[in-house]
Structure 1
Amino acid sequence: MSAKTIFIIILTVLVTIVLMKNTDEVIFWIFGDRYIPKLAILGSMFAFGLIIGFLLGRPRRKKEIKEIPTKGNFQTTSTPKENEEFTDPYRPNLSDDDRKYID
């Protein structure tokens, strides 16, 4: 069993114990006095916490920014001449070890 599975089992057991020990009714004010079991209040707050935790913990969706070509930012590709190679503008700044690693 993984640590995550063990943690979920222990958490479920603890929540069940707490909920089952608090079954008596309490007076709860919701625009007037109401008798509500502690079990319902604790259970709903636990569920609310799970939902909020899930929503805040999920990964964000990344929005893609699409660049709209305008008059000045078109990219053109050109083919190299017979003896000309495409060169990296940063290649002259590399050390000999870096060039060996890349090649």
Structure 2
Amino acid sequence: MSFKTIFIICATVLITVILMQNQDEVLFKILWKEMYVSKLAMMLSLTFIGFIIGLILGRPKSKPEQKQIPLEIENTENVITNTENKSSLSDEDRDYIS
């Protein structure tokens, strides 16, 4: 298993344990409003929001399209076209292999 898979499994188990231990209701003050909300609901919603933000920031960036530049060879006399020895091995390589 990869490191990423092991990390995700451990993080999921840890988050589940923490959420199950905090089920009681507490008073939350959000700006000017006070309300009783269970710790479980608040922590679960914040974990979900953090997960969504992580997905958005962690996705791979799209690469801009690259323009195709035509390749022109002006001087074709200097191009080496040795096709007979391309796939053959040298004598040293044959001795090393055998």
TM-score using structure 2 length: 0.61
Equivalent residue number for residue 20 of structure 1: 20
Does residue 27 of structure 2 align to residue 35 of structure 1?
no
Question: Which is worse superposed, 19-28 or 4-13?
Answer: 4-13
- 1:2-81 matches, within 5 Å, as 2-30=2-30, 31-64=32-65
- Displacement of 1:33 after TM fit? 1.4
Q: 1:65 and 1:78, CA in 2 relative to 1: closer, same or farther beyond 3 A?
A: closer
Does residue 77 of structure 2 align to residue 85 of structure 1?
yes
Gaps of 5+ in 2: 80-98
Gaps of 5+ in 1: 68-74, 88-103
C-alpha distance in 2 between matches for 1:12 and 1:79: 61
Higher relative contact order (Cα pairs below 8 Å, separated by 6+ residues): 2
How much is the aligned-residue C-alpha RMSD, in angstroms?
2.8
For residues 3-44 of structure 1, the C-alpha deviation after alignment (integer angstroms, 9 at most, x for no partner) is 332222211111001000000111112442111001111111
For residues 43-78 of structure 1, the C-alpha deviation after alignment (integer angstroms, 9 at most, x for no partner) is 1111111111111111111222659xxxxxxx7x68
Q: 1:38 and 1:78, CA in 2 relative to 1: closer, same or farther beyond 3 A?
A: closer
Aligned length: 77
C-alpha distance in 2 between matches for 1:54 and 1:79: 49
The percent of aligned pairs where both chains have the same amino acid is 49
Q: Which runs of 4+ in 1 moved over 4 A?
A: 77-80
